[in-house]
């Protein structure tokens, strides 16, 4: 008889993979996945969780620039966005300490400055074969269904690293929270 954990894992896998039947791997980068990370860890022990880390003020700026749907009220004010980031970090902290090899912290700034080294480390951790095409997302024809589709279609670049410095005045309320 299936356990609650296996029912949850099967339901998620079926829903997530329905449009991806021809692929062996998929990425779900929903903004709210951190809320379910512990449940994912418990119910799907084979799942790989990637925590993408950036400077918090850049994340705040990114959130403010996004055009998210109604209900994402934290995207309107810098302090609210900062509080959301703090909540995310606090929520993931115990999991990062206890999940062992199931969670990988991927540093975006390091990646943009040294793409091949960082990408190889991630690809190795996932268990995939290396392919030089991983360094050229602008050449991929795969479907991307995310708010960052334009960024994902560009060549890897570090031009946005430190870009939040241009908005220091706007970000002061967030900086006070962080």
- Given this model, what pLDDT does residue 103 score? 92
Superfamily the domain 4-177 falls into? P-loop containing nucleotide triphosphate hydrolases (3.40.50.300)
- Given this model, what pLDDT does residue 22 score? 67
Residue 10: pLDDT over 90: no
- CA 85 vs CA 55, 95, 173, 178: distances in Å: 11, 16, 14, 9
Residue 21: pLDDT over 70: no
Q: Dihedral sign, CA of 57, 61, 67, 70? A: positive
Residue percentage of the chain with pLDDT more than 90: 42
* pTM score, whole prediction: 0.81
Determine the average pLDDT of the residues in 59-88: 85
Residue-wise pLDDT tens digits, 77-91: 899 999 999 999 999
The model's confidence at residue 123, banded by pLDDT at 50, 70 and 90, is very high
């Amino acid at each position: 008889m299936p356990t609650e954990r296996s029912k949850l894992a099967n339901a998620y896998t079926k829903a997530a993979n329905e449009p991806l039947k021809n692929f062996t791997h998929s990425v779900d980068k929903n903004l709210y996945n951190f809320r379910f990370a512990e449940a994912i860890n418990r119910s799907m022990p084979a799942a790989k969780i990637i925590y993408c880390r950036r400077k918090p003020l850049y994340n705040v700026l990114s959130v403010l620039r996004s055009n998210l749907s109604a209900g994402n009220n934290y995207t309107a004010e810098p302090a609210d966005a900062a509080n959301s980031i703090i909540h995310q970090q606090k929520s993931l902290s115990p999991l990062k300490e206890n999940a062992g090899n199931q969670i990988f912290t991927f540093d975006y700034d390091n990646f943009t400055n040294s793409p091949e080294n960082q990408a190889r480390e991630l690809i190795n951790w996932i268990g995939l074969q290396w392919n030089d095409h991983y360094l050229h997302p602008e050449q991929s024809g795969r479907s991307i269904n995310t708010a960052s589709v334009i960024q994902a279609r560009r060549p890897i670049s570090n031009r946005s690293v430190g870009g939040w410095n241009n908005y220091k005045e706007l970000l002061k309320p967030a900086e006070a929270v962080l």
